[in-house]
Structure 1
């Protein structure tokens, strides 16, 4: 397929190649080759005819731009392709030419070619997820106890651990690997039904031919023709959109933590990466930018797939064609985001010291809830909450640390001094102590994620070469 200069900026050459015009045409020819072979095996045409058809099912033999142009006039890419295939076969075997495409229809050819391409696309996504999940697992384990500010509503909230935050990035990606595989197992199925989905031209042999074609192509044999039953297919596309959304979440956090005023993370730099045409000091988070672009575009593509499902009767008019045009865009964006994030996390710069300074700069106010909970045991929750509200205001007014303001207030009040363990209270203001609950949760979560991801890695996404 041809993509604009701006599309190519946001995707990868590998994914462009999957949905390239030549790749789709080759997938269509692969269907025709498998169909002829299956019909020969069922005794419906001579084996020599099947060999004659197979011998010219090579995309490089055809003028693909001319076929694409003719397809626009014909209303289907399959019509001029089958015509050219038939003409080429006739050069070698006139009898075989009469049996090209026999019993199938245009949508059978195109849908199956898209299924074959999508299988290749899913392999690329799974490979990218394998790599990205590996990066995130290592990062989370290395920083399981590193204190970092947790932020809610864009404001500092409490102290967490960076490993816990990374585990939150990782978990949706591991789930995405599982769900993409589950959806693929149902959606990557042969399309073969003939004109109205009944295989009527092939008569009683139709079911057996379909089974042979599916086996040849390594695809699931559909329970029935799915010309206008697009639920499993669209569901797979929606999972790709959800994956883009999950990567957008990672990119959002990465870009915010890389802001100069925060500076807790930085994408790798050098060789012109992330530079500015005007400001030499800049270190732009370009990987996050590409992933955010994918997340921004995915909802529109997903909505178009859903809108295309109301297809008319046994063959859709306009909506199926819209689906075909939208489908590759989801995969192009998702793979571009995956590659970009893999580049970022392969060389991500983490600054634990800056994370600690950002915590310290907040005068201990992010520990107020923990201190209030501890005081509540001694003086009751309402009194503890009221005291911390006052001490927090005094902290902001004085520019001192909350721990010091609170300790002074306790010492100044004989009743509080008697009830409250000041060393234990002071320990609550230690970032490492505050990060410990997050560290424990991260360790528990990462154990399961590591196991799930290892199972995927040991069982690579099923892929057969159909050249």
Structure 2
């Protein structure tokens, strides 16, 4: 598979190689080799034919670009591949060449090949996920009690902890890791149905040949072919899209927290990283950018899979081909986002002082809910809520800390004077104490996420 330089920018060489033309073609030859051996083992073709076929099922022996070019006219990559394989076998054994691709069909070889290369792609995702999850869990542990401003609807809300935030970044990744394995166990299955899914040519030996092939290839063996029943396969692709969406959420938070005006996080510094062609002072969050761009493409790729599911009768016309064309893009995007975030998180710079300063700059407004709770214990929640709303407006107008304005108001209010617990009052505006509920939750989440 050739990709544009812009596709390559959003992915990794390893994932591009997994779906490379040579990798897919070799997987197709592996199917043909395994098919011949299984059929020989069950008496459908001569042993000598199986050996002859296996001897030339090696992608480097063939002109792969020519096969790809011929596939457009043929309507399937399998057709020119089988033709060339048959010719290659005939050079050594004319009789053996008559047994090439026996009882199979184009979709069998292509689907099975895509399953094989997808298994390699999933291994890349799993390794990248394991690294990122470990890094995030360590970050969550280290910063479980580090106060940071929580923001809702893009506005300052209350105090949380950076460790809790990191733990929540990791949680959906752990779930995706489990879901991918579960989906893969069902979706990574052999395709072998013959012309219309009945294995008619192989007769009573068809099921045995399929089991033999599945065992040799390390794949699940479905009871019947899934030529136009794409549900399990599509679920796997959709889970890759969900993973990429979760990576996009992390990238979004990273990008927002790395804005110059916020300055709570920063990606690693390296020569040539995140610079600008025009502005020497720029420090662009390039990892977040790559992950965001990759995740932004995934919904469309997922929609392509769903849109291709309504395949006609026993073999799809156009929709299966659309699915094939879009499938690698999901994995290219997911691994690109993973690699970018792994690079960023491995050297992430966390500015705890700036996190505190951003909270302090709000003049105590983030403690409004806690203040209302304290006052509400005396005068009731509705009245306290109204009072604190007025106090926050007054604090902003006077450019004073909410604690000062509230203290004055308590002294002037006969309902409250002398009835407020001073120790509790002081704790209301303690930044570290405010982060403790989030810290406790961070540790709880960590216990559930660690193996």
Q: What is the TM-score when the length of structure 1 is the normalising length?
A: 0.96
How far, CA to CA, are the matches of 1:195 and 1:277 in structure 2? 57
How far, CA to CA, are the matches of 1:32 and 1:415 in structure 2? 86
Q: Equivalent residue for 1:375? A: 375
Q: CA shift at 1:96, angstroms?
A: 1.1
Q: Equivalent residue for 2:36? A: 36
Q: Equivalent residue for 1:410? A: 410
Matched, 1:26 2:26: yes
CA contact (8 A) 2:379 2:415 kept: no
Q: CA shift at 1:415, angstroms?
A: 3.9
How far, CA to CA, are the matches of 1:59 and 1:104 in structure 2? 20
Aligned length: 451
Q: Equivalent residue for 1:268? A: 268
How far, CA to CA, are the matches of 2:430 and 2:257 in structure 1? 22
Q: Equivalent residue for 1:427? A: 427
The aligned runs of 1:454-465 (5 Å cut-off) are none
The C-alpha deviation readout for 1:256-298, integer Å capped at 9, x for no partner, is: 0000000000000212111111111111010101111111100
The C-alpha deviation readout for 1:347-366, integer Å capped at 9, x for no partner, is: 00000100000000000000
How far, CA to CA, are the matches of 1:414 and 1:239 in structure 2? 60
Q: CA shift at 1:141, angstroms?
A: 0.4
Matched, 1:115 2:115: yes
Q: Equivalent residue for 1:200? A: 200
The C-alpha deviation readout for 1:69-126, integer Å capped at 9, x for no partner, is: 1110000000000000000011111111110000000000000000000000000000
Matched, 1:319 2:296: no
Q: CA shift at 1:414, angstroms?
A: 4.5
How far, CA to CA, are the matches of 1:376 and 1:413 in structure 2? 13
How far, CA to CA, are the matches of 1:90 and 1:413 in structure 2? 101
CA contact (8 A) 1:288 1:341 kept: yes
CA contact (8 A) 1:251 1:288 kept: yes
Q: CA shift at 1:379, angstroms?
A: 1.6
Structure 1 stretches of 5 or more lacking a match? 452-467
Q: Equivalent residue for 1:294? A: 294
Q: CA shift at 1:320, angstroms?
A: 0.3
Q: CA shift at 1:386, angstroms?
A: 2.1
Superposed CA RMSD in Å reads 0.8
Q: Equivalent residue for 1:60? A: 60
CA contact (8 A) 1:407 1:422 kept: no
How far, CA to CA, are the matches of 1:308 and 1:301 in structure 2? 11
CA contact (8 A) 2:42 2:205 kept: yes
The aligned runs of 1:140-151 (5 Å cut-off) are 140-151=140-151
Q: Equivalent residue for 1:225? A: 225
Structure 2 stretches of 5 or more lacking a match? none
